[in-house]
Amino acid sequence: MKNVLGRFVPEGYEPFAGSGAYKDKKRIIIQEKKTSRGFEKLSSISQMFDRLGIKDGMTLSFHHHLRNGDFVLNMVAEEIKRRNLKNIKLAPSSIFPNNRILAELIENGNVTEIYTDYVNGPVAEAISRGKLKGMCVMHTHGGRPMAIESGALHIDVAILAVPAVDKDGNGTGTVGDSACGSLGYAESDLKYADKVVFVTDTLIDKAENPQLDGKYVDYVLKVDAIGDPKGIVSGTTKITKDPVGLKIARNTVKLLEELGLIEEGLSMQTGAGGTSLAVAYYVRNRMLEKGIKGSFASGGITGYFTDMLEEGLFKELYDVQCFDLKAVQSIGKNSAHHAMSGSRYANPYDDNVVDKLDFVILGATEIDLDFNVNVTTDSHGMIMGGSGGHSDTAHGAKVTVITTNLVKSRLPIIKEKVTTVTTPGEDVDVLVTERGIAINPRRQDLLERVKGSKLPIVPIEKLLEAAHKITGVPEKLKQSDKPVGVVVYRDGTVIDTIYKIREEGK
Amino acid sequence: MKRGIAGSLESNDALITVKESDKLTITVKSIVYDFFHKQIEKVIRDTLKELGVEKIDVVCEDKGALDYTIKARLIVAVKKMEASE
């Protein structure tokens, strides 16, 4: 079966029918887990497996707030390996290179299905090479809470790393040796998993304003360390120094200004990549020059945004996960820096934050002539990421801007058709490159606004031509026909299929 | 044996190693092999023709270099080979 974008949808999955199709369906919410004040203390991971009866075929969930410094998923993986459990389904909100042990578990058939929003490193490679027996189901950050609350993704045990837990079982991310700030992606797991375990390295008397309510907690396990706080900082959380990236950022801000988006009360989100942060920085400078104040910024929050909050440039920050330690410190002390759940952030059926955004600045691994964006695989079809909040924010924001170099290591970023669709072109409005700006023809309103502009605004086809002139025309790569995963849009439908990569080539 | 090396393994560059040989051999390793190996081989052949070199062993380790970079690295590698003892 094919979906509305002409992409193949494997048997048993519902095809994507458009980014607004969720509005015609009703929200389904299963019963929250039965709650009881009072939890049992566990003494080891092994005891946790015995006490909870963790066995073959179960679904275990995790959050990724400790990012590449997380120890908890790996501890559980070691125990699965030791016990040689089979057909375990894992549902971590993301998977990072430090979780490489999972590649071994996949190979051995210990883990046979994966549900996640983002995966890179050795585990992504194992999946792309066809080692996972079942499918890798890739959600968005808003689609995951929707899948959990509706029962589509049923969790037997949520094993949640929590930086500090108090006497009543309340959990917080703002204190402890492994403080990571917001724990937004853990909230749905907490409420809807059959059983919940908090794994912590810090027991405290009373948590202030705890994000995770102790009434849902069944077990608390204290370990020596749940993670390495240095690992929570993501790859790039500094402004780019690359002159090309800076040019793209400057032109982006000029364009935002011409579109009337840098005005009193603005709301925005950017990714944590170097160019996105440069956009944030230039927006800040324009706000200071114009003497205006914004309403809010959201997303994964970095120190650049907490600085803007402290300078009075935003009234509020809505933070689903902290990208750097400065953000972690801010969320503990600034009352206008709010932690939010993944559902509040981006669940299509929640009163979500993404729908209130004026603009969002996002990246792309590939973008095509229909403005479809791929951030899930590289041009070979190898998994190297995932939507995260990409397609959620692109749908919610009034204007979605993709910033990218025209060419990266000889590969043109613009394609006739992207290898994998993560975010549908109907939700992508503008592409800014160093060689020009393309506006999606679906947005005649934006094209109208920039009439007479001095900015280099050209059809996207011209940018593709410019790229090919530099690189030559790349040969077409034929994908294999063996699905290894599906890209699930935020409403639960399948927007594209991920295929096993071909091993030939170098 | 005479040989010459030019370039680097930095992103967007290529490291080209050439050796004297009694036949023409071209080996391309590239991060964009699937998309551009034919084009990279063509640039190497065309450049050798311009230089009037018919028999040589060329190894190109490419990190996404554009044609003019590959051409420049190859010319320098060949000149270094010719100048070597």
d(CA A491, CA A371) in angstroms, rounded, equals: 20
Size of interface A-B (CB pairs under 8 A): 41
Chain A: nearest CA to B62, how far in angstroms? 10
3-state DSSP helix/strand/coil percent for chain A, to nearest 5?
Answer: 30, 25, 45
d(CA A476, CA A383) in angstroms, rounded, equals: 18
- Whether residues A410 and B64 touch (CB distance < 8 A) is answered with yes
d(CA B53, CA B40) in angstroms, rounded, equals: 17
Let me know if A24 is exposed, middle or buried by CB neighbors in 10 A (0-12, 13-18, 19+).
exposed
Tokens 């002159």 -> residue: A243
The structural domains of chain B, with segments of one domain joined by +, span: 3-83
Residue A384 has pLDDT above 90, yes or no: yes
- Whether residues A471 and B33 touch (CB distance < 8 A) is answered with no
Task: Check residue A232 and give its pLDDT.
Answer: 74
Task: Find the CB nearest B11 among A379, A409, A477.
Answer: A409
Read off the amino acid at residue A418: V
* Angle at A120 (CA atoms; ends A115, A124), nearest 5 degrees: 65
Chain A: nearest CA to B72, how far in angstroms? 16
d(CA A97, CA A80) in angstroms, rounded, equals: 19
pLDDT band at A505 (very low <50, low <70, confident <90, very high): very low
Residue B64 has pLDDT above 90, yes or no: yes
Work out the mean pLDDT of chain B and round it to a whole number: 97
Query: Using a CB-CB distance cutoff of 8 angstroms, which residues of chain A are in contact with residue B31?
Result: 409
d(CA A237, CA A228) in angstroms, rounded, equals: 17
What residue in A sits closest to B14 (Cα-Cα)?
A409
Read off the amino acid at residue B30: S
This prediction has a pTM of: 0.96
Task: Check residue A427 and give its pLDDT.
Answer: 98
d(CA A166, CA A200) in angstroms, rounded, equals: 10
Q: Give the pLDDT confidence of A424-450 residue by residue, as tens digits.
A: 999 999 999 999 999 999 999 999 999
Work out the mean pLDDT of chain A and round it to a whole number: 96
Let me know if A14 is exposed, middle or buried by CB neighbors in 10 A (0-12, 13-18, 19+).
middle
Chain B: nearest CA to A410, how far in angstroms? 5
Rounded to an integer, the average pLDDT of A331-360 is: 98
* Angle at A228 (CA atoms; ends A223, A234), nearest 5 degrees: 140
Reference A67, options A288, A259, A234, A285; nearest CA is A234
Task: Check residue A184 and give its pLDDT.
Answer: 98
Residue A504 has pLDDT above 90, yes or no: no
* Angle at A177 (CA atoms; ends A105, A308), nearest 5 degrees: 105
* Cβ contact A136:A383 at 8 Å: yes
Q: Which DSSP string do the residues of A298-364 spell out, in sequence order?
A: EEEE-HHHHHHHHTTSEEEEEEEEE-SHHHHHHHHH-TTEEE--HHHHH-TTS--SGGG-SEEEE--
Rounded to whole angstroms, the maximal C-alpha distance in chain B is 38
How many other C-beta atoms lie within 10 A of the C-beta of residue A27? Answer: 12
Can you name the residues that pair with A267 across neighbouring β-strands? A296
pLDDT band at A506 (very low <50, low <70, confident <90, very high): very low
Task: Find the CB nearest B64 among A380, A409, A477.
Answer: A409
- Whether residues B29 and A506 touch (CB distance < 8 A) is answered with yes
Chain B: nearest CA to A437, how far in angstroms? 23
Read off the amino acid at residue A235: G
Q: Give the pLDDT confidence of A9-46 residue by residue, as tens digits.
A: 999 999 999 999 999 999 999 999 987 778 999 999 99
Chain A: nearest CA to B51, how far in angstroms? 23
Residue A503 has pLDDT above 80, yes or no: no
Residue A147 has pLDDT above 50, yes or no: yes
Cα distances from A79 to residues A47, A69, A86, A101, in angstroms, run: 10, 19, 12, 11
What residue in B sits closest to A502 (Cα-Cα)?
B34
Query: Using a CB-CB distance cutoff of 8 angstroms, which residues of chain B are in contact with residue A474?
Result: 32, 35-36
Residue A340 has pLDDT above 90, yes or no: yes
- Whether residues B36 and A409 touch (CB distance < 8 A) is answered with no
Rounded to an integer, the average pLDDT of B37-50 is: 98
- Whether residues A409 and B63 touch (CB distance < 8 A) is answered with yes
Task: Check residue A113 and give its pLDDT.
Answer: 98
Task: Check residue A235 and give its pLDDT.
Answer: 56
Binding-site residues on chain A for chain B (CB distance < 8 A): 379-380, 408-411, 470-472, 474-475, 477, 505-506
Q: Percent of chain A, pLDDT > 70?
A: 99
What residue in A sits closest to B9 (Cα-Cα)?
A409
A411-412 and A414-415 strand pairing:
unpaired
Residue B84, C-beta contacts closer than 8 angstroms, at least 6 positions apart = B2, B3, B4
* Cβ contact A249:A434 at 8 Å: no
Q: Percent of chain A, pLDDT > 90?
A: 93
Locate A6 and state its tokens.
Answer: 């002409």
Could you say which residues from 40 to 59 on chain B have a Cβ atom under 8 Å away from some Cβ of chain A?
none
Region A243-477: CATH code: 3.40.1080.10
Domain A31-232 belongs to what architecture? 3-Layer(aba) Sandwich (3.40)
Span(s) in chain A for CATH 3.40.1080.10: 31-232, 243-477
Sheet with A366-368, side-by-side order of all strands: A373-374, A366-368, A414-415
Task: Check residue A37 and give its pLDDT.
Answer: 73
Locate A490 and state its tokens.
Answer: 């935020």
- Whether residues B34 and A380 touch (CB distance < 8 A) is answered with yes
With a threshold of 0.95, tell me whether the complex ipTM lies above it: no
Residue A469 has pLDDT above 60, yes or no: yes
Reference A463, options A441, A444, A439; nearest CA is A439
d(CA A27, CA A242) in angstroms, rounded, equals: 45
Locate B5 and state its tokens.
Answer: 């090396």
Q: Which residue has the higher pLDDT, A235 or A111?
A: A111
How many other C-beta atoms lie within 10 A of the C-beta of residue A469? Answer: 11
Tokens 């994507």 -> residue: A16
Number of helices (H), then strands (E), in chain B: 2, 4
Locate B21 and state its tokens.
Answer: 């040989």
Locate B34 and state its tokens.
Answer: 């699937």
CA torsion, ordered A398, A294, A347, A364, to nearest 10 deg: 60
Rounded to an integer, the average pLDDT of A379-390 is: 96
Task: Check residue A234 and give its pLDDT.
Answer: 60
User: What is the CA A485 to chain-centroid distance, rounded?
Assistant: 17
Query: Using a CB-CB distance cutoff of 8 angstroms, which residues of chain B are in contact with residue A477?
Result: 34-35
Mutate to test the interface with B, among A380, A406, A410 (most CBs of B within 10 A): A410
d(CA A186, CA A320) in angstroms, rounded, equals: 10
Can you name the residues that pair with A319 across neighbouring β-strands? A299, A339
SS (H, E, C) A137-167: EECECCHHHHHHHCCCCCCCEEEEECCEECC
Task: Check residue A236 and give its pLDDT.
Answer: 57
Task: Find the CB nearest A410 among B28, B29, B32.
Answer: B32
d(CA B53, CA A65) in angstroms, rounded, equals: 58
Q: Give the pLDDT confidence of A194-251 residue by residue, as tens digits.
A: 999 999 999 999 999 999 999 999 999 999 999 987 787 765 578 999 999 999 999 9
What residue in A sits closest to B34 (Cα-Cα)?
A505
- Whether residues B30 and A506 touch (CB distance < 8 A) is answered with yes
Query: Using a CB-CB distance cutoff of 8 angstroms, which residues of chain B are in contact with residue A411?
Result: 32, 35, 64
* Cβ contact A418:A374 at 8 Å: yes
